[in-house]
Amino acid sequence: MAKALIGYMNSDLRIPARLTAENTRLRTRVAELEALVLRLSQENDALAAAHADALLDLGSETMQEMQPV
């Protein structure tokens, strides 16, 4: 019975080290993805602002063309 219990319990010491290594790798990957999301969000905000400015400039040029001489 004791052998069955010992065999049932996880006695492999490599498993915690492997889990720790995988956990570290996943945390690193999550940090990389969070940084990517932040960079893309900032880039998107800059592009949206540039697009809005371009639309405003286009609108002001159109309005100047429509003014009577």
Residue 47, pLDDT > 80, answer yes
Residue 34, pLDDT > 60, answer yes
Residue 67, pLDDT > 90, answer no
Top pLDDT among 33 and 65 is at: 33
Domain of residue 34: give its range. Answer: 14-63
How big is the chain by its Cα radius of gyration, in Å?
30
Residue 4, pLDDT > 70, answer no
pLDDT band at 33, cuts 50/70/90?
Answer: very high
Which position has the token pair 């400039």? 57
Average predicted confidence (pLDDT) for the chain: 81
Give domain status of residue 9, yes or no.
no
Give domain status of residue 21, yes or no.
yes
Listed as own residue / partner, the contacts of 7-13 with beta carbons closer than 8 Å and 24 or more positions apart are none
Average pLDDT over residues 56-65: 68
Give domain status of residue 43, yes or no.
yes
